[in-house]
Every structure is written in C-alpha cells, then in structure tokens.
Amino acid sequence: LLLKVSLSLPLPLPRPPTTGSGGQGWCGSLSGQPWNPLCRGSRWGAPGYGFPQNVEPSLQIKEVDGWELVRQFSEDMESMLGRKVEAVQRLVEAAEEADLNHEFNASLVFDYYNAVLINEKDEKDEFVELGAEFVLEANEHFSDLLVNTSVSNVQLPTNVYNKDPNILNGVYMSEALNPVFVENFQRDPTLTWQYFGSSTGFFRLYPGKRPSGWRGILVQADRDNREHFKQLLDELQAKGVGSVSKALREAFTVLQQVRDAGQGALCNQAIMLITDGAVDGYESIFEKYNWPGRKISTLADVQENVMEYLHVLSRPMVINHDHDIIWTEAYMDSTLFASQAQSLLLMTTVAMPVFSKKNETRSHGILLGVVGSDVPLRELLKLAPRYKLGVHGYAFLNTNNGYILSHPDLQPLYQEAQKLKPKPNYNSVDLSELEWEDRDGTKRVLFLTNDYFFTDIARTPFSLGVVLSRGHGEYILLGNTSVEEGLHDLLQPDLSLANEWIYCITDIDPGHRKLSQLEAVIRFLRGQEPDLQCDEELVQEALFDAVVTAPMEAYWTALALNLSEASQDGVDMAFLGTRAGLMRRSLFVGAEKLSDRKFLTLQDKASIFTMDHFPLWYRRAAEHPAGSFVFSVPSAPESGGDGQPTVVTVSTAVAVTVDGKTAIAAAVGVQMKLEFLRRRFWAATRQVNLTFPRGPHQGVGWGWGVGVRGSRPGEGGGFPR
C-alpha cells in the first residue's frame, strides 16, 4: 500500500524548490554520491547535459498521427485475419473434394493415429493397436506443448467405437487434410491450431498431440450462466438426493410459459439431464409435457436424432454453396493461464462448415463437419506495437456486439485462495465498463486526457480502437546514428531490450526461436541472418537510444568505483528505460546484497517492458512533470521480517524539446534502502536554507510522496527523527 502523508509541523517548512525541472532544487539539497545517478539522469538532454554532437543535428520530434496509426493497424490486422480465413477455406475445399472422391467402404481396414493411444505399448513392449510411434517435440509457438508439426492425429469421444465403419471412412477421407495443414503452416507460420470436427464424431487436430483433459460441460444458455455453471461443476461434490422428477416438471413448465408468452428468440428448446445413471424413465412426465416428442436418452442417440435436424437446417446453405465464415466470441485458453498479462489471455476462432458435394446427397444437405483455426488475440496486438503508442497509449478490440475482445484494463480472472479462475462474464464486458469518464468531480490518483481513434477491421466482425494520451503521448523523439556506433553500444553488458516486443520475428524459423530479441537484432545488424525479418523503424530507435544513453553507463560505472562505504549501504542500483524498450542498469552493490532481487527481472513483470505495458516506474514518472521525483514503496513482497517495507524506488521522466515540441524520451531512476532515505531526508531538510513566505498558509506542511505504515494525516506522521 502506498500512503501519501502530510508533514504537519508547528514550524514553517521551506518551500520545495522549483528550479530546473521541478526536482533540480532537491538534487542540490540532497547532494552527494547516492543522488548523483538520478539527478544526472533527470538532466539528460537538457542544456549542459546534451546529446552527443554527432547525433544532435538529426534530432526531431515527430507528431503521432492517430488516424494514420489506426488505419495502418487495422489494415495489418485485416491482412493477418484474412490469411487465417484463406487457410480455413483451403481446408474446406480439400475436405469437400476428398469426400467427393471417396466411396463408402463398410469393410474398410485402416490404421490411424489415435491421440489417446499414440506411443502406448503393451506388456510385450509393442505398440498397441492405433498407437504407433508418434514423434512429439516441444514447440515454443504452441505454448511449449509436445506436438508433431508433420502430421495431425485423431481424437474420439469415449462412447464412439474407434473402428466403427463410419469413423474409419471419415478418418480415411480426412487424411487428405494433412498436406493442407502443413502447407497452411508453411505459408503462414503465425497459424496456431487447425482442426476438422466431423459430424460422425471424430476430431482431427494439427499439429498432432496428446489430448488435454477436458473439464466442465458446455450447456447451451446465456453467456454468463454458462460460464457460471462450468465453475460450479468444477467444484461439485456428490451428496444428498436429487429430485429429477421435480426438476423436469419445473423445466417443462418454464419453457411452456416462455413459448406461450412469445418471449425470447423462440428458438428450439431442449432439456439436458447430466447424470451417471437415472433410476427411472420418467415416462409419465414426458407423456404429460412432451408427448409424442422426440426422445434422446443416451449419447449414442445424439448422432441418429440430432444430425437429422442439422441436415435439414443446413440444406439451403449446401444448395446455395454458402460457406459462412464464423468468428467466435472471445474465450480463454487454459494454456495461457501462466501469463501475468490478463488482457492477452483470450482467443477467437474462425470456422467454416464442410458440406457433401455428391450429386446423390446434395439435395439432402449433408453436413460433413466444421473446419477451423484458433487466433490468439496476442498475435493481433503484436500488430499494434507499444513503441508507436507511447507510455500511456494502447489499442483495444471490440466485437460487433460491443463487447471487448482485448483491452489492457480487461481482467478476465479473479483469485480465489491460491487459484486463478475466470470471471463468469469475462467475454461480455462492455467498453463503458473499462473506459471511465470523470463525471462525479471527485479526486483521482491520475487524470489523463485521451484522444480516441477507431475503425472497423474490414471483412471481420471486429473493430479497432487506438488511444493516445494528449500532450506527451502525441510526440515521439527521433534521431539517426550509424550502425557501427550503435552496435558497439548495444554490446554493453548493462543493456537489454524488451524481449516481448517484436524487434525481429523469431518465432517462424526454428533456428531463430532460441534467440533473445537483443541477440536477434545484433545478428540482423551484422548481416549474419539474411532471412531474419526485423522492424527497421524500431531497430533504428533502439540504436539511437543505445548511443545517446551510453554516457550514462560510463558515468554510473565511475560513480560505483568512487562510492563511499556509507553510500554502498544505501543506493542499490541506477536504471533507465527508453520509449524503444531499451533498458540499462548499474549495480552499486553486489547482486547478493540487493534489497529487491526480483526488480527488473522476469519475476517482477511490472518493473520491465512487456507487450502489455511500459514498466510501472516509467509510467509513474511520465504521469508527473519531467524532473519531478516519484517515490514508491512496494507492499508486502519485499518487506522485512517485521512487515515493514525495506526498499524505495525513485524515478523521474526525461523530456526533450526540439523546435517547441516536447516528448518524453525516457525515464531514469534509482532503488535504495528505505532506512537510508530516511536519514538523507532529515539531513536535507535541516540543511536547506530557504525561507517559507509568510501568508495565509503559514505553518501548513507540504506533502511528501513516501508513506510510513500506520501514520495518518494530522498525526505528525512521517519519518522518525
């Protein structure tokens, strides 16, 4: 918890100096070795602390055009989603052609890769039937799951006999999809799962893998109730006695009332009973409420009864050769739960029906199945890179129903005890629930004035919005430097690049997947990887930032060599980050003596550049005038044994002005021990020799942005003297 405490003392306090950028007076007052890294960094780019002479002539501040950004992003997304549709269309054509050329063979004998049985051996150490050797390798593109990108395999529900003639003929016919799966993936390496679900009951998945465990049962209902019911099933305990007769009577009564009143969409109605075995047939209830209605009593009846209706419903589409493209609502992939960026958890799927084109069945409208491919929204948002949007800018996606597909403030999970669970309505959140307008006039931690730009993504049901914060968010600092000089500075050991940003595309070529973004950029600049595709604009910005921040690294190194013993027990490190995702850090103590060892590491994603956000210390600094120091104290994780915080992070924004335009180019900061800050703070307040002007506010203290646990305004709260 961050507390802002007023120091209300009986004697007048000095007015906080306002020279320089709002914090330079304190740089003078809190002078000495520990503060030098921060104060020098806050003046980076200011007169006397300018850019290297060889890059200064190239400096320019470019105004960001929001309309151009949203147009460019939407066109890129349209192209990307269009490739997914084309891949699915190729699968439809291949499946329908294969069915047209296949004659049903009731005595067909055919071995295929059954996903449940692959690589299984019997007691004689021989592969079981339908369980031949199936090579599986971990693949980063598929969430590090064990997959085979050369061939698909087949999954069957437990109640379906794996050698039923209908299954064997369908699986044999759909083998023609294997080369199309592979070709699609080669054409578009950003594709994820491709699949064919057959009306006969099997599911062909590419790349082939072992099946995941399925939990919960999908019940056709409204979105919120469906998700809520799935959560309840997950926690259900067997106890007591259920009255099925009472439940059936109530269900029939409610459905009858809805029909009679003409409420709802008047769709088909069905009641599903999920049980491990009913003790009664409930004929008397069905005779009263649903006679002579159709009865589906077991899973085996589903194909025989339900598919008859599907054939009738699909008949007009088959006759008219309509292959509607369906985009699903957002849903959650359980393999992405490990991600801390909740706004990137969701996916959508593009799907198309597959119909029989045989002359003898065309008039019957036979649905062969459905093909589809998953599209993680994370892949879409890669096309709206953070460096173009700025520290507080972002992009979001909406469906044609007005629901959020992706938004940085979307939190689809909630924590219950130690477990993360999806919220019941995570995929039916309206934009107005995330974008709050100030209507009540009350205080807020931060006010931002945003400009919104939006457009549709052609040939999809989605729309794209881009948000830019007014002021510094509308400008970006640009400059040029040579590749040779930039490469030299990129190789410095204290430097890193945002590994979740796409400087170079490393997830297509298997030989590139092990490269970090920094390694990929270096190889690209050296010409070692001619096939490597890189964002040249972002790479140029990173090169420029590496050159202009190089003097800070040398300065910090010199400081570290000359630190006094007292100072070594205070400031742990200095660091900086730039808009291009470049970071530098310099340790003033040994790594084993750091107060917060997770800071600026993957274990503390809030402190580093991610695909979803700029570092927290960067965002806080950018929310205040350049040169103002923002002090933040973490809550429990890095507290001492007594529960008190032990470390303070201080950061400030670096603004650069060219031709009357100002852009935030970077943020710089230090991390120090809280006890050390206490001592320096009281020493500085005693040394500042300034007069607080007499006036109506005489004797009123001023706010200091570091709180002390348990103190409250008006109680003299603050650091102990």
Q: Are residues 199 and 348 in the same domain?
A: yes
Of residues 414 and 397, more confidence is placed in 397
418 located within any domain: no
Q: Are residues 42 and 137 in the same domain?
A: no
265 located within any domain: no
531 located within any domain: no
161 located within any domain: yes
Mean pLDDT of 397-412: 88
Neighbouring-strand partners of residue 504: 534
pLDDT band at 397 (very low <50, low <70, confident <90, very high): very high
Give the pLDDT of residue 225.
65
pLDDT band at 589 (very low <50, low <70, confident <90, very high): confident
What tokens were used for 532? 């490597």
Q: Are residues 181 and 89 in the same domain?
A: yes
Q: Are residues 694 and 558 in the same domain?
A: yes
Of residues 397 and 529, more confidence is placed in 397
Q: Considering 343, 374, 405, which residue would you say is the last residue of a domain? A: 374
152 located within any domain: yes
132 located within any domain: yes
Backbone angles phi, psi at 124, to 5 degrees: -90, 10
Mean pLDDT of 600-612: 91
Q: Are residues 567 and 668 in the same domain?
A: yes
CA distances from 130 to 135, 181, 266, 302 (A): 14, 21, 45, 25
Q: Which domain covers residue 308, as residue numbers?
A: 79-216+304-374
To the nearest whole number, what is the mean pLDDT of the chain?
Answer: 78
Give the pLDDT of residue 700.
32
Q: Are residues 41 and 118 in the same domain?
A: no
Packed helices 517-526 and 536-561: angle between N→C axes, nearest 10 degrees: 110
Give the pLDDT of residue 37.
61
Percentage above 70 pLDDT, the chain: 72
Q: pLDDT tens digits, residue range 224-275?
A: 666 777 777 777 777 666 778 888 888 888 777 766 655 554 566 777 776 6
Q: pLDDT tens digits, residue range 649-701?
A: 999 999 988 888 899 999 999 998 888 888 878 887 777 554 444 444 333 33
Q: Are residues 21 and 85 in the same domain?
A: no
pLDDT band at 305 (very low <50, low <70, confident <90, very high): low
Q: pLDDT tens digits, residue range 316-364?
A: 665 566 678 999 888 887 655 545 455 557 889 999 999 888 887 666 6
Give the pLDDT of residue 216.
31
Q: Are residues 45 and 84 in the same domain?
A: no
Give the pLDDT of residue 701.
31
Q: 41 near 654, Cβ under 8 Å?
A: yes
What tokens were used for 598? 């997770």
Q: 714 near 8, Cβ under 8 Å?
A: yes
Sequence length of the chain is 721
Domain count for the chain, please give it: 2
Q: Are residues 46 and 92 in the same domain?
A: no
Q: Considering 323, 352, 374, which residue would you say is the last residue of a domain? A: 374
How does DSSP classify residue 645? B
Q: Are residues 33 and 119 in the same domain?
A: no
Give the pLDDT of residue 651.
93
Q: Considering 349, 374, 399, which residue would you say is the last residue of a domain? A: 374
Q: Are residues 40 and 186 in the same domain?
A: no
Q: 425 near 223, Cβ under 8 Å?
A: yes
Give the pLDDT of residue 124.
83
What tokens were used for 382? 């890669």
Backbone angles phi, psi at 390, to 5 degrees: 85, 180
473 located within any domain: no
pLDDT band at 313 (very low <50, low <70, confident <90, very high): low
Question: Rounded to two decimals, what is the model's pTM?
Answer: 0.75
Give the pLDDT of residue 26.
46
Provide the edge-to-edge strand list for the sheet that holds 404-406: 404-406, 394-398, 463-469, 450-456
266 located within any domain: no
Q: Are residues 187 and 316 in the same domain?
A: yes
